[in-house]
Amino acid sequence: MKFITGLIVGIVLVPVALYVYFLSGRAPVRVSDPPLPLERFLAMTAIHARAEKEMPASVPLQANEATYLAGAEVYRHHCGGCHGLLNRPESPLVRAMSPSPPQLLEPNSMVTDDPPGETFWVAKNGIRLSGMPSSQAALSEEQLWQVSLMLANADKLPDTVKQALTFVPPPAPAAPASGPAKK
């Protein structure tokens, strides 16, 4: 009897305590707050398990220079703003996000150990409650494979592809036109 009472109290008390904690205005919801204990571990386990379960088993494209070049083009326009380009200082946008986007072209943040199908799944479906968008509506399946294969081989890309992934600084603003302003 004592055990059952304890069990019921536990089942009721834990969610109530959590609710009170969230109501208290102290829960870590700012970007500068550290994550809750186990938050990152639980989220990564869930994402990984779902991607593994649903990712396509076979890769429909050849991993070659033409694919990587096409992937680099996709990356520049759809991913690089968050995940970084070669030779570009980390953007303030990246620092202002939590979780912050891994810099997928930097050796210690590459996804070269993941099967390309997992990157394909993540890029296609996105990750809820993070800044990672779903590219399903913006990119074709072919483009998603191109960028996934490029990222899976990011540690051994030919120079042509590296060049296509290198940041080009925008031109300096033109000098103001001289002469009287036109009405």
| 31-70: contacts with ligand HEC (CB under 6 A) | 43
Task: Let me know: does 154 contact 110? Beta carbons within 8 Å.
Answer: yes
For ligand HEC, give the closer residue by CB, 122 or 157: 122
- What is the per-residue DSSP string for 50-88? HHHHHS-SS--S--SHHHHHHHHHHHHHHTHHHH--BT-
| Cβ atoms within 10 Å of 118's Cβ, excluding its own | 20
Q: Shortest Cβ distance from residue 163 to ligand HEC (Å)?
A: 19
Q: Is 133 in the site for ligand HEC (CB under 6 A)?
A: yes
Q: Is 115 in the site for ligand HEC (CB under 6 A)?
A: no
Cα–Cα distance, 173 to 171 (Å, whole number): 6
For ligand HEC, give the closer residue by CB, 8 or 142: 142
**CA-based R_g, the chain, Å:** 23
Q: Which stretch binds ligand HEC (CB under 6 A): 8-16, 26-34, 127-135, 165-173?
A: 127-135
For ligand HEC, give the closer residue by CB, 73 or 166: 73
Q: Is 86 in the site for ligand HEC (CB under 6 A)?
A: no
For ligand HEC, give the closer residue by CB, 135 or 153: 135
- CA–CA distance from 116 to each of 27, 40, 62, 163, 182 (Å)? 36, 23, 12, 22, 56
Task: Among 119, 125, 146, 153, indicate the residue that binds ligand HEC (CB under 6 A).
Answer: 119
- CA–CA distance from 125 to each of 66, 77, 132 (Å)? 25, 18, 9
Q: Which residues bind ligand HEC (CB under 6 A)?
A: 43, 78-79, 81-83, 97, 99, 101-102, 111, 119, 122-123, 127, 130-133, 135, 147
